[in-house]
Structure 1
Amino acid sequence: MAVDVLIYTIARLLLVAVLAVAIYFGGQLLGISEFPVVVPLLLAIVLALPLGIWLFTPLRRRATASIAVFDERRRRDREQLRARLRGDEPPAV
């Protein structure tokens, strides 16, 4: 699970970085010489939010599926523990 989520997170951060660099140098090409770095970074974050969801759909689905598997395993383990604490027969796996 951690690997899938880490890959998705790194992809999203790289998208923000690429967009920020493209916006910064695009501003330089347009003749804006005094262009604070914060402006392209904030604009890149805003643009990367919807763009990342669209571009990285397979990565997002894989990360979501691995989180769901982890949550299901955790829920099953918790049910077995509660059953053992009550003295019941734990549910079959």
Structure 2
Amino acid sequence: MNDASDNRPDQDRQTPTGKGALARDVALYSLARILLVVVLAALILYVPRAFGVEIPLVIAALFAVLIALPLSLVLFAPLRRRVNEGIADVDARRRADRADLEARLRGQDGR
């Protein structure tokens, strides 16, 4: 149990690796950010109406996007970290595959 690879399966169970998991995480993060913009735009549109103030939809949408940008970094930090880790994993695998291919093309056995 002192082997360093003992920690790896726990990490795999928490965050599945692979392009499918990365695509899912990116889709979830994007959907969460879009929903945040929609909720903020609705709040900006309808809360002032309770006080008799009309705000145009374009202005509400613009402010919602501007507010959602930094807010999503804080609210969705765990999901953003998962996306970043997934991108790093895919990139590391791509680099390893490329190095293996280059080694085989040079006539060296990469294994």
TM over 0.5: yes
* 2:101 aligned partner: 81
> How large is the Cα RMSD of the aligned pairs?
1.0
Q: How far 1:36 sits from its partner (Å)?
A: 1.5
| Corresponding position: 1:20 with 2:41 | yes
Q: Counterparts of 1:79 and 1:30 in 2: how far apart (Å)?
A: 64
Among 26, 49, 52, the alignment partner of 2:72 is 52
1:16-58 Cα deviation digits (max 9, x unpaired) = 010000100012122123x320000000000001110000011
Q: Give the ranges of 4+ consecutive aligned residues of structure 1 lying more than 3 Å apart after TM superposition.
A: none
Residue identity in the other structure for 1:19 = L
Name the SS for the 1:32 alignment partner: coil
Name the SS for the 1:42 alignment partner: helix
Q: Counterparts of 2:103 and 2:35 in 1: how far apart (Å)?
A: 46
| Corresponding position: 1:43 with 2:81 | no
* 1:2 aligned partner: 23
Identity of aligned residues (%): 48
Q: How far 1:88 sits from its partner (Å)?
A: 1.5
* 2:19 aligned partner: none
Q: Counterparts of 1:63 and 1:45 in 2: how far apart (Å)?
A: 21
Name the SS for the 1:81 alignment partner: helix
In structure 1, runs of 5+ residues without a counterpart are none
In structure 2, runs of 5+ residues without a counterpart are 1-21
Aligned residue pairs: how many? Answer: 90
Q: Counterparts of 1:65 and 1:81 in 2: how far apart (Å)?
A: 24
TM-score, structure 2 length as denominator?
Answer: 0.76
